[in-house]
Amino acid sequence: MKDEGEMKDLKVRTKEFALRIIRLYVALPKTTEAQVIGKQLLRSGTSVGAHYREGIRARSNAEFISKLEGGLQELEESCYWMELLIESGLLPESKLSDLMDEAGELTAILTTCAKNAKKIKGDRV
């Protein structure tokens, strides 16, 4: 698992990601299409940090890995909804590029954390 300082930084980053998703949702057009996609993005984007925090409190390495992988699934889903917002013409790519970059960075970090935890698990067996 990660050390205390790294965990705090990731806690902050995932919460900031969620807050950015919330602000994006609030700013979306009020059309039915934008609101339906936006609600999906709101759910998945705010779940990433929740999964990470659940992982921090995991009772086992396997549970920690499972929670991180859940967060990774939510990040992937968030990217999908952002791609739909762009490709449907509801939002310009320029409005979402920074948020999509952050999703990519969080994906890389959580993937590394999960891989490292799996190595630890493998070493104990």
Q: What is the DSSP letter of 92?
A: -
Using pLDDT thresholds of 50, 70 and 90, give the confidence band for residue 120.
confident
pLDDT at position 22 over 50: yes
Secondary structure (DSSP) of 11-63? HHHHHHHHHHHHHHHHHS-SSHHHHHHHHHHHHHHHHHHHHHHHHHT-SSHHH
Neighbours of 101 (CB within 10 A): 10
- Per-residue model confidence (pLDDT) at position 122: 57
Q: Please give the backbone phi and psi of residue 50, each rounded to the nearest 5 degrees, phi first.
A: -65, -45
- Per-residue model confidence (pLDDT) at position 7: 59
Domains of the chain: 4-124 (1.20.1440.60)
Mean pLDDT of 70-90: 98
Q: Is the pTM of this model over 0.95?
A: no
Mean pLDDT of 8-33: 96
- Per-residue model confidence (pLDDT) at position 121: 63
